[in-house]
Amino acid sequence: MKEHTQKITLNSYLDLAQLLKRYQGTHEENRSFGLKHQEDSVSRLQKWKEKYLYKITDSLDSTSYLHYLTTFTYMVSFLFLLFGLITGFTLLSYSGKEPVNVIYLLLVMVGLPLLSILLTVLSMYTGNVGAKFFNHFSPLYYLEKIINFFYFSKKVDLSHFSLSSKLTKWIFLDRLQLFSFLFALGLLISLLLTVISKDIAFGWSSTLEIDSLVLQQTLAYLATPWQTFLPTAVPTVELVELSHYYRLGEKLESSMIQNADKLGAWWKFLAMAMLVYAIILRLLLWAWVHFAYKRLLKKEFLRIAGVEKLLWEFETPFVSTQAQTAETHLDVASSKSSAQSDLALAYNAILGWNYSEEDLHLIVDRFGVNAKVVKNVGGKNSFGEDQAVIAEVEKAILVYVKAWEPPTMDFVDFLEELLGKEEVIKVDICPLGTSTNGYESQARDLQVWFNKLEKVDSAKLGVIDV
Amino acid sequence: MSSYPRFAVVGHPNKGKSSIVSSLSLDGSIQISNTPGTTQVKRGFPLKIDGEIVYELFDTPGFQRARRVYAWLEAHGRDVSADKRVEVVRQFVFEHKEDKQFRDEVELLEPILEGAGIIYVVDASKPYGAEYEVEMEILRWCGQPSMAILNLIGEEDYREEWTRALGQYFRMVRTYNPMTAGHEEHVQLLESMAQLKEAWTKPIKKAIVALEKLQEQKIESTVITLSDYMLEVLSLVHTQNIYGEEVSEEEEEEAKRKYREKIVAYEMDERHAVEKIWRHSDIQKQENALVLDEVGLFSEESVSIFGLSQKELILTGASAGAITGAGIDLLTAGHSLFLGSIVGGIVGGVGAMFGFDNLYEVKVLGQSLGKRELSVGPMQNLNFPYVLLGRGLYHASVIAKRSHAKRDALSLDSESFTGKIIDAEMRKELEKIHGKLRKAEELEKEEIEAYKKVIRGAFLRLLEAK
């Protein structure tokens, strides 16, 4: 199971990319997942993907993309095999008048695959500049053209599938090796079938003045990989000389006809050349491409948009500072009451709430309001002392309060007791600002006092803003 | 009793207790009101690391009837020795648990009696008053480690007289303005809290380390968000079908408009993401219409504030020639399956250096089966990346530096933008990437990392700027 989850496939790549577009989880969830799964990055990502894949409610990109890719692979594989067979049979069609030209066969059966291998290697390891230059020589370019003929070409929108162009290139390079392998296999099968069913005379001919010995040495080089264990598949000088023919001769040379049985020996060389250069070399390249593709897939898997953040969240402790309980808050309606702006010239008593005696006298002097009784209440006074003041005062009373200090219930209790006294006919509350500001209160502070005093429902109560 | 440190933020009503808790808990959702008494019940704000509580802050209602409470305590504990006074307080809470008269006092005393340290908050922008002494006496009876915080709500400064008075009741007196405090002040306050009790030092230090990391995480997340956004917008290509052989003026204008709309939507998404990172999701914005709103992104005003000057542009090494290299396979570097050939010509041109008339390339793309598309982008204007980045950085820095205690609308205007945050070296680095994006080239991981590094540098400079 562990092996299975760690394996990165195109399927898992597409699923994760699609999932991350839809859902990335919260840091808290991802950290919790990371703590539970202390494994390597790839395994964690695979498990995370499996856990949340249900979040993708519509069809999976991987299902459609892989369906099209598989269909494309099967169809093109079949076509390439067929094309290989047809090409092989066409090249080997022997009329009996003229031998089959070995050089021509070698160019198609060995030269073409080798050129294709070279271009593949160039596609693999050239950057964008190289890719642009070789684009029109690359089999990939023609593969694109072939795809355009398929019924699903419009449905395969690569930008939709979150595949980088690099990865796309390698997906098709990988498949291209299969197609090339099948083409070469088709050629080899056609050669073997033709050899079994027909007696073919091979020969060679060239406009260039090629010496038989030079050609034999060149072919011997080509045959190096198998000459030790299959020497009969290496053309001899005698065979090369015997096989040389000239197109302008009306008939085949008499020596060729006399040695017709020997000319057929070419097929072993051709078969081995194809097996080694077109098939084995292709398989090796395929393995190389496949390995590089898998490595790139892993690299790209870790580069999917959102993966870096996800891995970071797996590793990074989640710090939360918020409250877990909902806030219970009291909404206080804003009072529409307004203050009187003038103080009466005289009151029966002036009280200073939370003021010191010294401060209260300064205020009385500042505003010039007279009263028989001037007392400070609240503050450090005991309840007994406040009770005594309430007992002493009557009729009109002015209470100075600190505007910036919001009225507490302690003040409201005192006020209610004062207002409850029958002898008290009027209580004016005068919120003052700080002495440094000339006792001028701020509108914001006054509003707070209005809001609170409005709840003390009494006709005796008034607010004065000096 | 809990094993982790707890702190009860207590005090007179309306002295900024909730603001301080909001700032320390990085929670912008706490309701803060000018009206006293709106916090009715205590509310815990645990700092958790991976679900484990490291410390907990309590926001509490303010004292409402402190004199009555103290009178009760004196009456019941006059002859009690200092070490037993906390039991008298406990008895008070027990006896008045259901008493509505003392609901606020019970709420604020409960966490203290459960072992919470006391953080007493006063407004030091207003004069000291003796009425506070009753509250401080009650807290002293609780016998818990305590400190006082001088909060400067207004513009005046009475810290000296407050410090003299508070020093007699509290082990430590610190100034902390939740409206302006940043990460450093937050950490300094926590360090002071760690000194209140030996057993609390370790967990608070742990919390400081976690908060330091959280700050780094936020910076890193912001950098990633900004960088991803920049790369996405600068490589954005908008395509839409066209119906005739050639693109009409209306079709071109419509495509350009949609392209711009997509960029504006990206900017909005980026801002929301940054606000979420810094936990300011509920923020109200009030942007300067000319500079930072959606229309402003493409305005010349934006260029003049956030863009580079002509001289700076030349110094970055960006030349008009560098942006006309769009050719075949421009979009996907030679491996563009299905979008291989361009049949139309380039309609739009190189963007103007300062104007925004021709910002992007407009092309007509053809496909083999005859479907035609109009393509707009990627952005070709040399200055646009700097405008985009400047706006993003500015918004992110304002959000990052904003206190969670603030409840006013966010004002984003250009006045406080420091301007020259991107030096020549940074511009050179940025231009390398911008050039590649203009050519729709794919970026290597190392290049993206280098890009992030420059953005990180610029963002840190803005964070450090006052």
Amino acid A134 reads: F
Which residues on A lie below 8 Å from B214 (Cβ)? 319
From B29, B101, B214, residue closest to A319, measured CB to CB: B214
Q: How many CA atoms lie within 13 A of A19 on its CB side?
A: 23
Which residues on B lie below 8 Å from A327 (Cβ)? 29-31, 43
Q: Residue B333: its pLDDT value, please?
A: 29
d(CA B51, CA B212): 18
In chain A, whose CA is at the least distance from the CA of B133?
A: A380
pLDDT band at residue A151 using 50, 70 and 90 as cut-offs: low
> Rounded to 10 degrees, what is the CA torsion of A207, A213, A217, A219?
50
d(CA A335, CA A112): 93
CB contact (8 A) between residue A329 and residue B44: no
Give yes or no for B183 touching A (CB within 8 A).
Answer: no
Average pLDDT for residues A142-166, to the nearest whole number?
A: 64
Please give the backbone phi and psi of residue B178, each rounded to the nearest 5 degrees, phi first. -65, -20
Closest CA to B279 of A323, A52, A33, A314: A323
Range scoring the smallest mean pLDDT among A237-246, B168-177, B382-391: A237-246
Give yes or no for B209 touching A (CB within 8 A).
Answer: no
d(CA A404, CA A431): 8
In percent, the amount of chain B with pLDDT more than 70 equals: 75
d(CA A306, CA A322): 26
Which residues on A lie below 8 Å from B213 (Cβ)? 316-317, 319
Give yes or no for A21 touching B (CB within 8 A).
Answer: no
pLDDT band at residue B290 using 50, 70 and 90 as cut-offs: very low
Query: DSSP for B339-383?
Result: -----S-B-S-PPPSS--SS-EEEEEEE-TTS-EEEEEEEE--SS
Which residues on A lie below 8 Å from B437 (Cβ)? none
d(CA A1, CA A121): 36
d(CA A67, CA B438): 35
Which tokens is A231 given? Answer: 């020497």
Higher-pLDDT residue of A156 and B94 is: B94
Give yes or no for B208 touching A (CB within 8 A).
Answer: no
Give yes or no for A318 touching B (CB within 8 A).
Answer: yes
pTM: 0.71
Provide the CA A163 distance to its chain's centre, in angstroms.
10
Which tokens is A285 given? Answer: 């390249």
Q: How many CA atoms lie within 13 A of A108 on its CB side?
A: 20
pLDDT band at residue A241 using 50, 70 and 90 as cut-offs: confident
Chain A closest-CA separation from residue B156 CA (Å): 9
Average pLDDT for residues B311-321, to the nearest whole number?
A: 54
Mutate: best of A321, A324, A358, A362, partner B, most B CBs <10 A: A321
User: Does residue A203 register a pLDDT over 70?
Assistant: yes
Q: Residue A32: its pLDDT value, please?
A: 92
Closest CA to B338 of A347, A57, A148: A148
Chain B closest-CA separation from residue A354 CA (Å): 6
Interchain CB contacts (distance < 8 Å): A and B: 187
CB contact (8 A) between residue B65 and residue A317: no
Query: DSSP for A38-94?
Result: -S-HHHHHHHHHHHHGGG--S--HHHHHHHHHHHHHHHHHHHHHHHHHHHHHHHT--
CB contact (8 A) between residue A329 and residue B47: no
Range scoring the smallest mean pLDDT among A130-134, B281-285, B326-330: B326-330
Cβ atoms of B57 and B22 within 8 Å: the answer is no
Which residues on A lie below 8 Å from B335 (Cβ)? 131, 135, 140, 165-166, 168-169
> Rounded to 10 degrees, what is the CA torsion of A306, A309, A315, A320?
-120
Higher-pLDDT residue of A249 and A119 is: A119
CB contact (8 A) between residue B126 and residue A434: yes
Eight-class DSSP state of B144? -
Amino acid A318 reads: F
Please give the backbone phi and psi of residue A242, each rounded to the nearest 5 degrees, phi first. -65, -35
Q: Residue B332: its pLDDT value, please?
A: 28
User: Does residue B450 register a pLDDT over 60?
Assistant: yes
Amino acid A132 reads: K
Mean pLDDT of chain B, nearest integer = 79
Which tokens is B107 given? Answer: 């709420």
Within 10 angstroms of residue B253's Cβ, the number of other Cβ atoms is: 11
CB contact (8 A) between residue B338 and residue A153: yes
Q: Where are the beta strands (DSSP E) in B34-103?
A: 43-49, 52-59
User: Does residue B318 register a pLDDT over 60?
Assistant: no
